[in-house]
Structure 1
């Protein structure tokens, strides 16, 4: 039953493509150390129904399912709050990576239409240009993945084959030249950023939320829009929220005002201005689902690292298979091993929001090597809160109030 009613709500099951691989969490993390998917803003269009969609983690990123075209062709795509563009590989493909499903063929969709060069989505960005009456685009991500092609519109179906919503005239990138490490499990990326070409902007959603399961779990989480976005937000009306900040130099990202970090309820000696957005557009703290690890600017990271070593009081180790991460400890043995307490990490945001993190959101254990590693890394220029740090929270974006709220939750679904 396909419907275009703006009041439709639904949930869809999504398979995990790497469920048959026996990878440890540490092996997954080693795949993602250099995977930071940032790109430039992009460009708006159409209102939207409420929907909820299950997402799952494939190695290091979260995947949602959608169908495109008339008749619909079904694909798996990465959901990414750190970018804007919706894109998929398209025929004829001049340079394309291998994907598990057939590449989208525009010629077989009766609802497909190239975007005119005069459309505001084409004229509003430096990443696009008119060529042979097509609105050409190119997007380069921080991990050197890229997509090139032209913009078009078509009908998107979000949901499963029984209960779903059909949304016409969604603009997306038809990529005929694409490449990138780790993209071979999907057909493309769905950007959920703040730019006009993102799914959030095109659907004119006032709210969306997601609930991400733990890294390494063969389980599903949820991505929800509209009235369903509040699902799992206990006492949402009384909750304290932190504002979404705007960085004029990068307006498509969700910046948060991180004001302090504490370990075991002791505030670290980090200057508040360390996390502020600078006048030149550098700095700031981005909330991003498209990156697994968390990155802090050097000044803050070095303070956290040293205090973590002091409070943990375990031997710091440097083994070849753990050196991808900056800080690892030899785990304790004997009677005290199971009761050993690692430092409790809290993030303090504007609005008196204190996010107390479960241990698994910032530490990862390699039991075979008897090591425990901090999954926070140093960064230059800006900070980023990745998906592992956000796991097992409902993360609610209220775009009308311009706030983000965190609600502890068990996000795993069978």
Structure 2
């Protein structure tokens, strides 16, 4: 995640997904009376689950082959007109994004139907978990959840329709009304807003790609999401508004230890992002693309000071600003609290600590200390070694700091204590 001046920060608020009609809180109700005996919900629970599973698999297959009629078939009927319109818009946005490889993972019933006689239609609520990939960008699948309401006659469970659909938890980009899609070889921009804003994100994504490649050797084709509001950004990220205060962008995606990340998203937070000067926006986007590129080519987590410091190093490399200006918040904190004795701990990067800007500044200074002494490519080698390039003893696999210590010795022939002394000297020079 990138601060307004180019750092990163890491709770979720209940989402109210934009552009989703028919998503009012589902209810369980009998829609027509009958004189026959009620059928207990447990008597047709298995048939109900099988019917829902088959319908959702069929619907996913329809989406994969671009069959809008098949996608909308379960939401037919006069009572679901607004839902049908909304789901048609979702389908069009999914197709524009080239979302495919939809697979149903799990189905769980949230609220069972009430007992009802044959010939009566009743409703019940289901949560479905599915996966998908964006063609040309995702190497691994992403998961999303849906809250759905179904309606059927207990005696005819396969003849069911969907009466409500909404994201469960975090929405996906296709839930954003007014979404504009711009695709190139290096970026997929999913944006809401004026055409000028969309094109700016496209251009700056291209700039970020060239800057990351100049340091890392390549840049990962990335998915950029630019929502209309900070609230939408928070929902997409599954975070609260407080988590994103002062944050201009954040990288989000599944990460499995020992594997490369393959389905990251970079979400711009419009309030902080638009408040930046043009060069600040480039810093933010380069910083985040550095994270995405590194995550896609390494297999082990590193300490936050290294990951954030490296992203800052890459992002600020082409920016002609005095170093004291770039790390001014860190220097202000040091003047009041004294010279730090150790590199920033992971906890210093938590939003609640109010030390984010200081932690990012100190991390950048540590990486610049190494780059000035050993060269930027040596820093890249250090990162690659610490993030999976070194074989570590089994009892140290989870010790990220120890992996960095080993990488410092193997790539630069130095130690953490030497780095800290050189880093402190750099800070003292900036204070004068």
TM, length-normalised to structure 1: 0.25
TM, length-normalised to structure 2: 0.25
Say which structure is richer in strand.
Answer: 1
Say which structure is richer in helix.
Answer: 2
Tell me: higher relative CO, structure 1 or 2? Use CA pairs within 8 A at least 6 residues apart: 1
